[in-house]
Amino acid sequence: MATLLNPGRLVQHSDTFYSTHYAYYGKRCRLHTRKYSKRLVDDLKRVEDMLKLKRHSIILRPIHALYNGLTFPSHKLAYIDPMRHTYGEILHTSIHECLHLKQVQEKRLSWCRSTMNLVWEGKTYAVMEVAYKEAPWETDVREQEQEIYFKLTGKKIPKGRKKVK
């Protein structure tokens, strides 16, 4: 099971998760409190069980506006931004990032610290030189995420906001 972390805190009270943390937007610092439903936490656990994920962390917190989620292979860590999206979009992003964690666990995706590049199935890629949609690890995830989303919800992935990557 993943460790649901937060830079501030993640507290369970009567099967409802809350997080409190500071988010920096420009020069203003705002304190946000967000209630994470038991449904989201249960769905995250179901995704982890489906993928048989072990020894990883998922952090729910605001991230840069260009991203819905980020995975750091060297730390087996995924950030998911739950602040500005619908439940379906959060679940889709969670599945997407968990699939990247599965790639890391299977040693198909890794980070080479010496060259500062991603390694996909033994081949090194300069991150800034590979288009997001053409990256082989992203193509692999896109092929699997629809099936997992459908198993969880019985629906297709909702058409969300356009991602700029």
90-106 confidence digits (pLDDT tens): 889 989 999 999 999 99
* pLDDT score recorded for residue 77: 84
User: pTM for the complete prediction?
Assistant: 0.75
- Does residue 16 fall inside a structural domain? yes
- Does residue 73 fall inside a structural domain? yes
Specify which residues 21 forms β-bridges with.
32
Domain that holds residue 52: 3-153
Number of domains in the chain: 1
Residues 156, 142, 130, CA angle at the centre, nearest 5°?
150
Q: How far apart are the first and last CA of the chain?
A: 29
* pLDDT score recorded for residue 33: 46
Instruction: Name the stretches of the chain with pLDDT < 50.
Output: 1-33, 162-165
- Does residue 164 fall inside a structural domain? no
- Does residue 162 fall inside a structural domain? no
Which single residue is written with the structure tokens 């990247």? 100
- Does residue 158 fall inside a structural domain? no
* pLDDT score recorded for residue 67: 85
* pLDDT score recorded for residue 158: 74
* pLDDT score recorded for residue 36: 60
State the CB neighbour count (10 A cutoff) for residue 11. Answer: 12
